Structure 1
């Protein structure tokens, strides 16, 4: 007769799994669930506030209208700037030669507009900037525009 090996006796499945992977996890308590919901609501409200304040600072946009070369040392760039009438913007204007090298550069400030001036209730205004160039320019464009902080 053979005797059973005591080390080979099978443990119940739940006990062996608990030993291997750990016991069953406890469910979240009511207080923990409430704190998670409150934290999610606070984050959602903060996100909505951020969206509301960031859209209040309307961006500035621009549109190139044209350019003209006065002579070998001067170019004129015509463009439109659209922004909130009460804000101040700065725009970087550049003139380029036939190899797209920058031969003239200027940053201009566009101050607040009267709501009765320009199109769209003072939002869009036409601008002309004269650039001094190092050599003959074959094009002139607005490189970028941005809103200037009123606190500066």
Structure 2
């Protein structure tokens, strides 16, 4: 007597694939699509607002021009600062020795400029800062500059 082999029975392909990989995915509803579009729109508007407000705060840039050592306890640093003429900036100036160790440090405030003070409408000003040093300096540079919050 032979028995019929049940493993050889054919199962429809769609049923066997569904058993193996899971059922068919449902399509997105109209409400889900609308919510995704609205969320993307909100994110886009928020990004545009962030870009608009972040560019409203005027940046400040600086350029080192040179330095000189007056004696073993003083150094002079010459630099240019470019900013919005009505803004106030602060710059950190440092003097360094031959091993790049900081031997002098000073934070200076650069106030608003008049438009007639420079060729570019008062944006760029030349500055000279005298630093006291604890040992002879071999270089002097601007470390960083930033705009001072006007709401002091």
Please, what TM-score do these two structures have when normalized by structure 1? Answer: 0.92
* Offset at residue 151 of structure 1 (A): 2.1
Gaps of 5+ in 1: none
Q: Give the match's secondary structure for 2:55.
A: helix
> Does 1:55 find its partner at 2:51?
no
Q: TM-score, with normalisation over the residues of structure 2?
A: 0.92
Instruction: Give the aligned partner of residue 4 of structure 2.
Output: 4
1:47-126 to structure 2, matched below 5 A, reads: 47-126=47-126
1:115-151 residue CA offsets vs partner (Å, 9 max, x unmatched)? 2223311110111111001111121111111112222
State the Cα deviation string for residues 80-125 of structure 1 (Å, max 9, x = none): 0001112111111011122222111101111222222233111101
* RMSD of equivalent CA atoms: 1.5
Equivalent pairs counted in the alignment come to 152
Q: Structure 1: which 4+ aligned runs deviate by more than 4 Å? A: none
Structure 2 unpaired stretches of 5+: none
Cα distance between partner residues in 1 of 2:132 and 2:13: 86
